[in-house]
Amino acid sequence: MKVGRLILVASSGLAFVSAAHAEGGRAVNANPVQVFFTQLSAPARVPAPAAASVAELKKDRQIVRASWYGGGERLSQHTSSGEIFRPMGLTAAHRTLPFGTLLRVSALSTGLTTIVRINDRGPAAATGRALDLSHGAALNLGIAGKGEAQVAIEVVH
């Protein structure tokens, strides 16, 4: 872990800038090596996930925007969980839910329902969508031709 952080800090270009300088003050005779190791040993800050947790979803269902993926856009044949991506499988990608979570997904426009398993990460937060369905799941829901749809999701297990 420290080796990865060492590379990150060294490549950031801020490795030899003291904390006082970064906050707008002046550092007098700051030792660059000491500053570097101080930054290296500082704990990494991880932002809290913005999406709902499993416990919050178990309370009630949520209405979210979902899309599907499964064409040639994937750069790797593996999902984030490490398993091989199967476009016709009943799987989905979610930013924060644990791998293996089973979701009941209901398309509001068609009234069709299916159960999917979370095995990948996504979609990107900037898209405004909360769920990426495999092509097989989108076909089961009747939304494959639309590309994107409003769905209700609730955790099954």
Reported as a single tens digit per residue, the pLDDT across 17-38 is: 444 444 444 445 556 555 555 5
Domain of 148?
54-155
Reported as a single tens digit per residue, the pLDDT across 59-79 is: 678 999 999 987 666 567 888
pTM of the model: 0.61
**CB 120 within 8 Å of CB 96:** no
* 119 located within any domain: yes
Q: Are residues 105 and 145 in the same domain?
A: yes
Q: Are residues 130 and 79 in the same domain?
A: yes
* 46 located within any domain: no
- The total domain count for the chain is 2
Q: Are residues 27 and 78 in the same domain?
A: no
Q: Are residues 18 and 82 in the same domain?
A: no
Count of CB atoms within 10 A of residue 115's CB?
A: 13
Q: Are residues 27 and 64 in the same domain?
A: no
**CB 97 within 8 Å of CB 132:** no
